Amino acid sequence: MTEINSLKGFYDRYPEDYVSFRKLVDTVEETAKEFGFREINTPNVEKTDLYRVKSGDELLDQTYSFKDKGDREITLIPEQTPTRARLVQQRKDLKTPIKWYDTSKRWRYEDVQKGRDREFFQGDFDIFGVESVEADAEVIAAAATIYKKLGVEKRVNFLVNDRKLLESVLNSQGVEKTETAMKIIDDKEKMTGEEFLEELESEGLDTREAEKVDEVTSISGPIKETVEELKEKTPEAAEESVKRMEDLANALEAYGVEDLCRLDLSIVRGLAYYTGLVFEAFDTEGELRALFGGGRYDNLVGLFGDREVPAVGFAFGYSPTIELLKKEDKWPLKDVETDVYVLTVSEDVRDTGLEYAKKLRDHGLSVETDLTGRGFGGQLGYADSINAERVLIIGKRDLENNEVTMKHMESGEEEKLDKNEVINHLESENFV
């Protein structure tokens, strides 16, 4: 006998787990639909070159990459953004704005920890073809709406920044090596203050520059107030990006989510393709890794052909969000459900039971019947284990009296019904 377990960081989801997972997917997708995003479905395997274009070394180091039997270099998708850029480039006839969502699996060879798996789900939302802050605000509003629906928006810090803004503020403070600094800023939260300064200096910044980077990236607060603070601090060079952040704050206010968001100059994000806005969310206690992340990537589509299309979007992280819901005692979101279990008291009424089951299913209910030939007690126990709301008991003697019995599982109450009136009765109770 060989015992084989799943790979580290890959999860088996049994029905009692998956029912909550599905509910979370539904919440995310409902939100996408409410905002007018359309669903797409794309390959889970791509040519490795797709990620060499612009995803950055960190992501490439983490990919599951192989050679297929035709000796092609292929990769299990670690994210969907480059695939989407390829799709947009491929179809020049698509009318903008293009708004897409999907929920599917991704693979990254990461150190496994809470909320960080090797096989995981992301929910991607992107808007292509809109350069203005309205699209930026809309994707952030969609993300915030998900957490509002889950009832945990107050436990989430929505952190917003703009790489261009950060760059010009750093420049205005005399920091030249902004590209080098950005890479280190991305890891700032994982380091102590001292380590951060040391790292900057070891990459060629002088002590004064390193301190400036530390000072600037410590700026964090409500967007409007922080924008005002920046206006005083920075000269003309940063004017345009400061103005854009101000416009974003106003647009977020119109979407009713401005009060959830903060401007935080330490947010830069690891992926190399972002060109301006970047945003990321963390739990307010700072224990979990990012719940979702995204930004604006106006040049990525253009790298795959002659069509330049601005884009902004984010990926919702299922695992870290589930960890947050667990911390907040909001998980599981749902239990396995069954509307009616049709219990047949003896073998000779099984066919009648199946007829009732069919009728109930025709009315849209989820119905189970006995498939195993279990006795009364066994069937009732099973009905309880699948959380059946009602049990319709079909017995020979009842039928001879033109009756069946309906048991309400929660209260334990039973009522006799006319055998021809079951559906009518359920209709009168708004059960069907």
Report, in Å, the least distance between residue 284 CB and ligand HAM.
Answer: 16
User: Any residues with CB less than 8 A from the CB of 44 and at least 6 apart, and which?
Assistant: 76, 77, 104, 105
With CB under 6 A as the contact rule, the residue among 120, 279, 304, 341 that binds ligand HAM is 120
Q: Cα 329 vs. chain centroid, distance in angstroms? A: 19
Nearer to ligand HAM, 333 or 399 (CB): 333
Nearer to ligand HAM, 294 or 310 (CB): 294
Report, in Å, the least distance between residue 135 CB and ligand HAM.
Answer: 12
Report, in Å, the least distance between residue 76 CB and ligand HAM.
Answer: 12
- Tell me which residue has its CB nearest to ligand HAM: 317
Number of residues that bind ligand HAM (CB under 6 A): 24
- What 3-state DSSP class applies to 186? coil
Nearer to ligand HAM, 300 or 404 (CB): 300
CA distances from 328 to 156, 231, 293, 331 (A): 11, 38, 21, 8
Query: At 378, which helix (H) or strand (E)?
Result: helix 376-385
Chain positions 255 to 274 lying near ligand HAM, rule: CB under 6 A, are 271
Query: Is residue 278 exposed (0-12), middle (13-18) or buried (19+ Cβ within 10 Å)?
Result: buried
Report, in Å, the least distance between residue 101 CB and ligand HAM.
Answer: 11
Nearer to ligand HAM, 142 or 230 (CB): 142
**Tally of CB atoms within 10 A around 48:** 16
- The reply on whether position 234 binds ligand HAM by CB under 6 A is no
| Residue 118: φ, ψ to 5° | -95, -30
Chain positions 305 to 334 lying near ligand HAM, rule: CB under 6 A, are 313-315, 317, 319-320
Nearer to ligand HAM, 161 or 319 (CB): 319
With CB under 6 A as the contact rule, the residue among 293, 310, 353, 395 that binds ligand HAM is 293
Distance CA 332, CA 334 (A): 5
**Tally of CB atoms within 10 A around 328:** 14
Report, in Å, the least distance between residue 310 CB and ligand HAM.
Answer: 12
Report, in Å, the least distance between residue 317 CB and ligand HAM.
Answer: 2
With CB under 6 A as the contact rule, the residue among 54, 86, 99, 116 that binds ligand HAM is 116
CA distances from 30 to 26, 341, 381 (A): 6, 29, 35
- The reply on whether position 291 binds ligand HAM by CB under 6 A is yes
Distance CA 212, CA 129 (A): 36
Identify the bridge partners of residue 120 per DSSP, sorted by sequence position: 106
Report, in Å, the least distance between residue 38 CB and ligand HAM.
Answer: 15
Nearer to ligand HAM, 276 or 295 (CB): 295
Strand residue runs (E) in 113-246? 119-128, 156-162, 220-222
Report, in Å, the least distance between residue 108 CB and ligand HAM.
Answer: 5
- In the numeric block, which tokens belong to residue 157? 């810090």
**Tally of CB atoms within 10 A around 110:** 15
Report, in Å, the least distance between residue 289 CB and ligand HAM.
Answer: 7
Q: Cα 4 vs. chain centroid, distance in angstroms? A: 30
Report, in Å, the least distance between residue 130 CB and ligand HAM.
Answer: 14
Distance CA 241, CA 226 (A): 13
With CB under 6 A as the contact rule, the residue among 117, 186, 283, 323 that binds ligand HAM is 117
In the Cβ-directed half-sphere of 268, how many Cα atoms lie within 13 Å? 24
Tokens 């004064």, residue? Answer: 208
With CB under 6 A as the contact rule, the residue among 28, 147, 294, 407 that binds ligand HAM is 294
Strands 277-283, 156-162: pairing kind: antiparallel
- The reply on whether position 127 binds ligand HAM by CB under 6 A is no
Decide: 49 and 75 in contact? Cβ < 8 Å.
no
Query: Is residue 188 exposed (0-12), middle (13-18) or buried (19+ Cβ within 10 Å)?
Result: buried
- The reply on whether position 138 binds ligand HAM by CB under 6 A is no
Tokens 């980077």, residue? Answer: 213
Decide: 124 and 142 in contact? Cβ < 8 Å.
no
- The reply on whether position 124 binds ligand HAM by CB under 6 A is yes
Nearer to ligand HAM, 77 or 345 (CB): 77
Chain positions 75 to 94 lying near ligand HAM, rule: CB under 6 A, are 79, 81
Report, in Å, the least distance between residue 314 CB and ligand HAM.
Answer: 5
Give residues in contact with ligand HAM (CB under 6 A): 79, 81, 108, 110, 115-117, 120, 122, 124, 126, 271, 290-295, 313-315, 317, 319-320
